[in-house]
Structure 1
Amino acid sequence: MLARNSDPIVAIATAPGRGAVGIVRVSGPDVKSLVTALCGRALRPREATYLPLRDAQGQAIDQGLALHFPAPHSYTGEDVLELQAHGGTVVLQLLLARCLQAASEIDPTTGRARLPGLRVAQPGEFTQRAFLNDKIDLAQAEAIADLIDASTEAAARSAGRSLSGAFSQEIAQLREALIHLRMLVEATLDFPEEEIDFLQKADAQGQLDRLQAQLGRVQQRTRQGALLREGVKVVIAGQPNAGKSSLLNALAGAELAIVTPIAGTTRDKVEQTIQIEGVPIHVIDTAGLRDSQDEVERIGIERAWSEIAGADAVLFLHDLTRAAQPDYQAADQAIEATLNQTLAARVPVLQVWNKLDQVSPDHAAAYQGVHLSARTGQGLDAVRQQLLQLAGWQSAPEGLYIARERHVQALQQVAGHLDMAARCLAAQAQSLDLLAEELRLAQQALNEITGEFSSDDLLGVIFSKFCIGK
């Protein structure tokens, strides 16, 4: 686990820097004594009180709001104190230091330290407490971080739905159906002489078919949700002067890359994230691909191939004005051959023909792919739609929730186990033990999504990605 879960914790819960308001948050088994030390009085539960926040000498550090959330009705499920002051760095550090100091002071009414063991929280520890105290499940905890990190409006809305439990409810429905089928199979193992008739009467095959169909629908929505969070890495590749930098600028709507008629102008990658229908597309412009004796350009070309090797999709840009030239065609064929050797079979390559405004329609029609003019913008919408198709994006269904790659992989494991379970069920009595085991493994993979079952290492990785105050 990240840390000792019984320790009271404190942290600045707002982003570093200056701001109108900053928050210091404390969570622990009982913070009433600390409230008295900092605020000079008790607080009404869940009611904001405006008052001076005091240092050890009773002097006001700042005037602000204090809120006390008694357990279990709080974010973490423990007693929580939130101090809302002006968002200056020094003010918040003073409040944080005062919390730590007051925690070790002796409360005159009890003769004990006010909040012994109070320490600064580690990243994600407040949310981890919420998970451990059953305030949220693991998928909802991840949705909190995704909501904070959302780069598009669609991603933010989808993360909000996951936080509200939409994704978790779908997983719970799958789990309920899976458990019902498991119970049926396990029961038949106690009555071997009747097991086949029993399974047939209970429509075990129909239950498994419906479960697989339901899983397929959840997988499709989860893949879409993962796209909203992760986005797609698209590399623009091609020969020098094909218009790669112009295309990046056109997609981004800004002059990000230098554009000149001189071959080899782009020496290093230029990256920009755009959004198309709410999906983040990470577009990378690279150096023109050719044989070069220039050392700097050669390094840029090596980096271009490195980016291409890690791409989710490649946009292979061609120059229509040079397309009929034999030397240009040969160079394009060489690049195509290297792309086929470099890219995994699953990585799509989109053929795009640029400079449509400089050639006749008949000339452009001879070349298959997407035709555009990066200079005028003609055909740019077609490129955007093709990028979405390459990413596997479909029109966002109503109520789409955010998801992560680990969720996609877990559901793939579930699908694999259910496929094996179907084979075992088809084999009837000879494989019922294996059928029961495959269903158990499928449920275990489902449980890892919401944290019904999860290793300490997995929790540590997930919550360490949070900010300190979460």
Structure 2
Amino acid sequence: MNLDTSPIAAIATAPGRGGIGVVRASGKSLGPLITALFPGATLNPRHATYIPFKQADGSIIDQGIAIWFKGPHSYTGEDVLELQGHGGPVVLQMLLGRVLEAGQEDGLRLAEPGEFTRRAYLNDKLDLAQAEAVADLIDASTEAAARSASQSLSGAFSKAINTLVEQTIGLRMLVEATLDFPEEEIDFLEKSDARGQLAVIVDSLDHVFRQAAQGALLREGLNVVLVGQPNVGKSSLLNALAGSDVAIVTPIAGTTRDKVSETIQIEGIPLNIIDTAGIRTVDEAVDVVERIGIERTWGEVAKADVILHLLDANLGPSAADEHICAAFPQGVPVLRIWNKIDLSGHKAGLDVAADATHLYLSANEHQGIDLLRTELLRIAGWQQTGESLYLARERHLIALRNARAHLDHAAAHAAQSDQSLDLFAEELRLAQVQLSTITGEFSPDDLLGVIFSRFCIGK
């Protein structure tokens, strides 16, 4: 990971035209840069100054506001200078060029993606979970995701993790102190209620994991793939779920030749609904385009989180439907959707059978669509807990799972005898390390590099 501490600068607002654009610089001391940009002027820390932005020859680039945040009272913990002008791309590029020119002697350079936030992390203004929440807040695609990202940015997730770490350290200290005095080991587990303390930690971790797992759904969403023979109503179902005519619907079999995707929200959960070409055998496919579409369908099925296998309730099951179902990947939830109940006479409903979960609906008449939405939420594991959620990432969930496994091993050693106290203590230490990777207390440099490289430049 690059630990270059030279001053940096970048355009901090999104590309394109806007009413306002911001050029940001950060460094240990920006006094010389401010003097070079505004000779004879005085910028007071944390005060907005309306001032002309000039080229080196004195010609005016723009008129705007300059704000100097003197470190450590800034986003990065260093001196930060923000120049707020009009948001034209040419104006901002000219202004950035002037800033880089004025700071050239001090080593000022263009910032890397995420470098401002990385410096905030390295200067203890944010922990790693909060830093990731900055990117998640920017990328949030739903109101629920934005609220959860804001919750993590405020430090709520980090506080929950730090509490778990402190509880684990407390029990570790107790165990390791006993190891230093072997004569005290007799009945230690009972006298100290070590098992009870461990159970409290496990319960707390499980609670945090549930909130984090729910939050991860808000961030990632689910890939829901619609699969079935031609003309069973896949495109109609996509339109019904989306609430608009996203896909072309005709009575002609094979109308959909390639995938059509639409992201919808159910209770704030983003669902990426993917309509695919109808599946039939290669011999039945009418042309090369349809054959390619079928191949792409199976490619989407391989990446699915949930498969909706559509069948025609008016015609009933066929050998082709069973052939399709047999080719689904193992371990992926499958809902068998019996469409066109308006023609078959079935009632909208859900039937959990031994072979699969069957759901009866009519995409054209919008019968049973709410049942499908509810079932998708159930498969996703969504629960209306009423609690604040943390917009967790996959690495957070992995760390929590690993910590839980180490705590389980510790419980197994505690169930044996006091002779296993050294192993008990070691599993507690390993659990602590896993939890600490979430906030960045113990994080390898390559992990930090990957995390911050995914930020936008200027953040």
TM-score in terms of structure 2 length:
0.95
CA drift at 1:162: 0.4
CA drift at 1:215: 0.6
Aligned to 2:26: 27
Aligned to 2:454: 465
Aligned to 2:52: 52
CA distance in 2, matches of 1:100, 1:396: 50
CA drift at 1:42: 2.0
* Worse-superposed segment, 355-364 or 247-256: 355-364
CA drift at 1:63: 0.4
CA drift at 1:362: 7.0
Aligned to 2:330: 344
**2:191 maps to 1:206:** no
Deviations 1:392-447 (A, max 9, x none): 11115332221111111110000000000001111223322211111111011001
Check whether the contact 1:5–1:129 (CA below 8 A) recurs between aligned residues: no
Label 1:354 to 1:362 Cα distance change in 2 as closer, same or farther (>3 A). Answer: closer
Check whether the contact 1:32–1:42 (CA below 8 A) recurs between aligned residues: no
- Out of 401, 414, 420, the position equivalent to 1:425 is 414
CA drift at 1:135: 0.1
CA drift at 1:259: 1.3
Match of 1:27, SS? strand
Aligned to 2:438: 449
1:270 maps to a residue whose letter is V
2:28 maps to a residue whose letter is P
Deviations 1:262-313 (A, max 9, x none): 1112111111111111000011011111113332212211111111111111
Match of 1:255, SS? coil
Equivalent runs, 1:236-247 vs 2, <5 Å? 236-247=226-237
CA distance in 1, matches of 2:387, 2:192: 35
CA distance in 1, matches of 2:313, 2:274: 22
Match of 1:403, SS? coil
Aligned to 2:132: 142
Match of 1:332, SS? helix
2:50 maps to a residue whose letter is Y
CA drift at 1:228: 0.4
Aligned to 2:98: 98
TM-score in terms of structure 1 length:
0.93
1:208 maps to a residue whose letter is L
Aligned to 2:152: 162
Aligned to 1:288: 278
Equivalent runs, 1:153-232 vs 2, <5 Å? 153-232=143-222
Check whether the contact 2:259–2:297 (CA below 8 A) recurs between aligned residues: yes
CA drift at 1:19: 0.6
Check whether the contact 2:347–2:361 (CA below 8 A) recurs between aligned residues: no
Check whether the contact 1:266–1:288 (CA below 8 A) recurs between aligned residues: yes
CA distance in 1, matches of 2:345, 2:246: 29
CA distance in 1, matches of 2:191, 2:42: 64
Match of 2:273, SS? strand
Gaps of 5+ in 2: none
Match of 2:318, SS? helix
- Out of 292, 308, 313, the position equivalent to 1:299 is 292
CA drift at 1:363: 11
Label 1:365 to 1:424 Cα distance change in 2 as closer, same or farther (>3 A). Answer: closer
Check whether the contact 1:320–1:364 (CA below 8 A) recurs between aligned residues: no
CA drift at 1:36: 2.2
Check whether the contact 2:189–2:414 (CA below 8 A) recurs between aligned residues: no
CA distance in 2, matches of 1:400, 1:157: 8
Check whether the contact 1:231–1:282 (CA below 8 A) recurs between aligned residues: yes
CA distance in 2, matches of 1:119, 1:79: 15
Aligned to 2:306: 313
Match of 2:265, SS? strand
Match of 1:193, SS? helix
* Worse-superposed segment, 92-101 or 123-132: 92-101
CA drift at 1:35: 1.3
Label 1:98 to 1:353 Cα distance change in 2 as closer, same or farther (>3 A). Answer: same
CA drift at 1:197: 2.5
CA distance in 2, matches of 1:153, 1:45: 35
CA distance in 2, matches of 1:362, 1:390: 22
1:361 maps to a residue whose letter is H
Match of 1:444, SS? helix
CA drift at 1:57: 1.4
Deviating beyond 6 angstroms after TM superposition, the runs of 4 or more aligned structure 1 residues are 362-368
CA drift at 1:39: 2.7
Aligned to 1:14: 13
CA distance in 2, matches of 1:286, 1:91: 45
Aligned to 2:69: 69
Aligned to 1:384: 373
CA drift at 1:38: 1.6
CA distance in 2, matches of 1:415, 1:363: 42
What is the RMSD computed on CA atoms of the aligned residues? 1.6
CA drift at 1:193: 2.5
Deviations 1:71-109 (A, max 9, x none): 0000000000000010011111111111111113xxxxx
CA distance in 1, matches of 2:389, 2:400: 17
Check whether the contact 2:348–2:367 (CA below 8 A) recurs between aligned residues: no
Give percent identity, aligned residues only. 62
Label 1:70 to 1:365 Cα distance change in 2 as closer, same or farther (>3 A). Answer: closer
Check whether the contact 2:349–2:361 (CA below 8 A) recurs between aligned residues: no
CA distance in 2, matches of 1:16, 1:269: 30
CA drift at 1:260: 1.4
Match of 2:263, SS? strand
**2:36 maps to 1:37:** yes
CA distance in 2, matches of 1:140, 1:291: 51
2:334 maps to a residue whose letter is V
